[in-house]
A and B are shown apart, each in its own frame.
Chain A
């Protein structure tokens, strides 16, 4: 870091893609914030990627379009990029770099925080085990989200993941506690109409006052996308660990983030990894995902729901593949269900919340939750097998019990999975619906639930 910062250099050696190489630079530091001034006096922000041999490579967030070697100046500010944070950020809308986008002034900062965050001491981490109600039955019932978890949504191009993201942001709450709850929403490279939908959706539902929005639209420079999740997580960490709030961070779409990373990597002429993404994609993604969690002795928590669209619906693509290594489960949006018009089209057989078992049951949701969930999974899986069989032998070739499973599969999709975008179901309603599904089966088919719960909740149809 420069001693004081603020030195402006005017020797630009090269401009390459989103990068500017500045010559004769002394004392610049890795990640240092840089102000680029164009010949017209326009100012753009960037950060130092590499320093050495009197040169500094600067990544310009707002792109290098219109910059020329002569006349462009680079001012090394002497500090890393910081986000001003205070309670006042709640209810505000910012752009992808954390600048106000709602026509209001900069928030009066309580403090300025490095957007790269401080790593959580693993020893200080507390195991996540408290339930978050999203109001979406399939998530609450079968892949429950817990406070401090990172649970990604794997979707595909054109599917309804953004509707789901907005619904979760509007409805999410912690049940049975008076603790404050907040939502930090980061939209990366989304269309203008989608950004507007997110903003309006939170505003009209009254949820904006407990939310912070960071909107990087598709026409914003791709490089800004590197910063957007970081500023969002910085605010989330402040709200969680300084103000003691439970914060849900929804980030959509992480694929756009990875694309931006690839663009910079290509411009830096780094050796490409799988599908051209940099070899450090895993490490880079982990610096974002690992910012979720709870800390011993601190009241708040940061829960992450990153959303990524899988190119060609390919779950083995590097982005979902590497994400899956870091996160604690996944929610998979299914193309077939989407085509059938089911919302939310979540393929439960490919989805899983690894921390669910610790966040449900007596004292959190209800004592029978785990078992009824297992039974529903089992029954729907069997229903899928029967559907495949019916496709070959026809309905006439099915046994009576097969037909029951077939009916159960339809009821599951029509009554449990299908939900209106503004329908906020309580966990009791969700569990009631799960018992309704299970009650489609004869009692002797219920093998995963203790008798005492069957006697209490089972109502054979």
Chain B
């Protein structure tokens, strides 16, 4: 048995060496192949990565632009609305002050002439002088004296609430024309507002 011992050892060693060498080669080959595969994958992924990167940046930019528009748009509108409200408040104050001046104005000869022209205008529009005239308590006397030039007209005993001027009604009650100062201001209010706003430096 002993004389075969070295031979057996040598054969076993050779086989082991052979296996080791083969395994080493295989591992080396696998490593090399894995390395080249991973390199290839990396190289292939790079353009995709760059595209993805560009897309993320572009999307982010779009989103940022959108948010910027939202914020600036909202702020612009808010500021403009506050400006509009402030302007309206000022216009109202001017109106109120002007109306106060009208109420307290002297009922002079000029005012009597104004009433006459208002009556003329009103009868012309209604197409008749068969009218009943309404006015406020303060202007009753002036209106009464002006009616002499309008045959068929009469002053109503009933008074109306207004700043001045007259409201006339045909005697059959079918037609009414409001020529009070209040109604005239109301008709011209949009134009007057524009003029007042222009005084505050608002020009459209």
Q: Which A residues form the contact surface with B (CB < 8 A)?
A: 2-4, 6-11, 23-24, 26, 73, 84, 86-88, 91, 102, 104-106, 108-110, 112, 203-209, 422, 424
Contact = CB atoms under 8 A, between A and B. Distances in A.
A7 B197 contact: no
B146 to A, nearest CB: 19
Main secondary structure of the interface of B (DSSP, over half): helix
A11 B174 contact: yes
Contacts of B193: 106, 108
Given A104-B81, A205-B66, A110 B204 contact: yes
A84 B69 CA distance: 28
Contacts of A73: 176
Nearest to B127: A26
A3 B74 contact: no
Contacts, number: 89
B3 interface: no
B177 interface: yes
A24 B73 contact: no
Interface residues of B, number: 36
B18 interface: no
Given A7-B176, A10-B176, 9 more contacts: A4-B125, A9-B176, A88-B84, A104-B81, A108-B197, A108-B204, A110-B194, A203-B74, A424-B62
Instruction: Give the interface centre of A23, A88, A208 by most chain B CB atoms within 10 Å.
Output: A88
Contacts of B177: 6-8
Contacts of A2: 125
B61 to A, nearest CB: 12
Instruction: Give the interface centre of A4, A108, A203, A204 by most chain B CB atoms within 10 Å.
Output: A108
Given A11-B174, A91-B80, A106-B190, A205 B69 contact: yes
A112 B190 CA distance: 9
A9 B175 contact: yes
A207 B65 CA distance: 13
A206 B84 contact: no
B71 A6 contact: no
The 7 closest A-B pairs by CB, nearest first: A206-B73, A86-B204, A206-B69, A110-B204, A105-B88, A206-B70, A8-B176
A210 B70 CA distance: 12
A84 B126 CA distance: 29
Contacts of A112: 190
Contacts of A424: 62, 66
B66 to A, nearest CB: 7
B174 A206 contact: no
B98 interface: no
Contact of A203 (B77, B88, B126): B77
B187 A206 contact: no
A24 B126 CA distance: 12
Contacts of A109: 190, 194, 204
Given A104-B81, A108-B87, A203-B77, A10 B173 contact: yes
Contacts of A26: 127
Nearest to B200: A108
B175 A206 contact: no
A206 B71 contact: yes
A137 B88 CA distance: 44
25 contacts: A4-B121, A4-B125, A6-B179, A8-B178, A9-B175, A9-B176, A10-B176, A11-B174, A23-B174, A88-B204, A102-B81, A104-B84, A105-B84, A106-B193, A108-B87, A108-B193, A108-B202, A109-B194, A110-B204, A203-B74, A204-B70, A205-B73, A208-B73, A209-B76, A209-B77
A81 to B, nearest CB: 14
